[in-house]
Amino acid sequence: MKSRDTLLRLKRFQLDEKRRKVAQVEMMIAEFDRMAADLDREIQNEEQKAKISDPTHFAYPTYARAAMVRRDNLRGSAANLKGQLEEARLAVEEAFEELKKVETLENRETAREKAESSAREQAQYDEISLSRHGMRARA
């Protein structure tokens, strides 16, 4: 019984850890997207100030060019994280399935133990009943 409880706790812990990882990756993606959007706005502001929106122009703002590189890096990182997110979600599904298997086995085992206990109890009652009836028949 104790080992099954330990196994159940372990599977629940593993599932929770995988769920936390999914949430963490989702938060990182959201943060990278937010930062990229902020950089987009800053790039637009710089282009409006300089009145030059062509990045190949010789007078294109240096800050806007650097912000573009940083924004593109953030978007690339977010894209990589989306791949990790899919893997993490699959891991959550697998951990959930494993937990369900262990819970099912636990439920079956508990039901079997209850049935055995009920059968033993019924046998004791039957024995008591037979001994009482046996005593009355002799008297």
Instruction: Give residue 130's domain range.
Output: 2-138
CA 125, 130, 135, 136 torsion-angle sign = positive
Residue 18 sits in a domain whose CATH number is: 1.10.287
pLDDT tens series, the chain, 139 aa:
578 889 899 999 999 999 999 999 999 999 999 999 999 999 999 999 999 999 999 999 999 999 999 999 999 999 999 999 999 999 999 999 999 999 998 888 888 888 888 888 888 877 887 777 765 555 5
DSSP string, the chain: -HHHHHHHHHHHHHHHHHHHHHHHHHHHHHHHHHHHHHHHHHHHHHHHHHT---TTSTTS-HHHHHHHHHHHHHHHHHHHHHHHHHHHHHHHHHHHHHHHHHHHHHHHHHHHHHHHHHHHHHHHHHHHHHHHHHHHHH-
User: pTM here?
Assistant: 0.72
Domain count of the fold of the chain: 1
